[in-house]
Amino acid sequence: MFENLTAERSGVTPSLNALRAFEAMARTGRATLAAEELCVTHSAVSRQVKALERGLGVALFSGPKHALRLTAAGQDLLAGLTPAFDAIAAAALRARSQTDDLTLAVNASTSVKWLIPRLGRFAAARPAVRLRMLELAPYAYGQRGAHAVVRIVRPEHLGPGVTVFMPNAIGPVIAPQLLAEAGDILAAPRLVAGTHAHGWAEWADATGARLPPVQERIFAHLHFALDAALAGLGAVVLPWPLVADEVAAGRLAAPLPFAPREGGFAVMATPGVESRALVQFTAWLKDEGAAMAPAPG
């Protein structure tokens, strides 16, 4: 009928960690992605969510294991949790920001091939800022616990708090020696980055180029494909800022015009978080972006 007078915590509010695991799994749609985000194994996420369902006495997911869907209760719970966890992360970040810390979530390719090589200049200009960088999941446009996200932003994600500091344009590059051998960059083997599988097609659509069938090689990331191109394995369509230095140094050739892309490289400030260091960093990014050579074509 009714439980006795008790203040036992268990059963009143479920474990916060379990709620966070659920929130990540519900938001990403898969336990594996949630596990990656939380830096644990999928097993841990699965366990937490199961424990949460047991504690609440409500099913949160339904459907076959390979295509889970949120129940109505799960959707309602997710809607309540996401802004709350965002607020907690933002509050914690504000507290930490007292000390000129700046935490950025950066796309791995952008980071390795553009940002990190320039970070020494920022550190020299703003020695007080202690920068901390997190790897941003390729599909993610936000990262809890970071003051801002730095990535290529599509036009539909532009808005307040998003500062484009450098335009984007994509086009094919190739090692000069391989270009000489193949005669035509479009006749060389094509390297494809898994995170931008449609790079060649997009560039061809935009420029009207026709792509003869050639061998393709798949790489997980843009920067792997870039390194492969440097090594002479083939041609690859990449954002201009990531290859500009290599082209200027003669290690890559860009014989064909690049196609401008809407949006661009941008820094996306996390809502609810303010940081003097982020303002300084954004200004520095705009300076660096302005100093980039324009893309060919």
Positive/negative CA dihedral, 201, 205, 209, 210: positive
In the window 110-139, what residues touch a second copy (CB under 8 A)? 111-112, 116, 119, 123, 127, 130-135
Rule CB under 8 A: is residue 187 a binding residue for a second copy? no
Q: What are phi and psi of 91, to 5 degrees?
A: -65, -40
- Identity of the residue, 51 or 131, whose beta carbon is nearer to DNA in the bound complex: 51
CB of 41 to a second copy, least distance (A): 13
Q: What are phi and psi of 168, to 5 degrees?
A: -115, 145
The window from 17-25, 196-204, 218-226, 235-243 that contacts a second copy (CB under 8 A) reads: 17-25
CA dihedral 78, 84, 86, 91 (to 10 degrees): -170
In the window 147-186, what residues touch DNA (CB under 7 A)? none
Residues 6+ away with beta carbon under 8 Å from 196? 222, 237
Q: How far apart are CA 239 and CA 199, in angstroms?
A: 9
Rule CB under 8 A: is residue 57 a binding residue for a second copy? yes
Rule CB under 7 A: is residue 71 a binding residue for DNA? no
Helix (H) / strand (E) element for 216: namely: strand 216-219
Distance spanning both ends of the chain, measured CA to CA: 77
Interacting residues with DNA (CB under 7 A):
10, 15, 17-18, 21, 30-33, 35, 38-44, 46-51, 61, 64-68
Interacting residues with a second copy (CB under 8 A):
1-9, 11-14, 16-17, 19-20, 38-39, 56-58, 60, 73-74, 76-77, 79-81, 83-85, 87-92, 94-96, 98-99, 101, 103, 106, 108, 111-112, 116, 119, 123, 127, 130-135, 144-146, 272
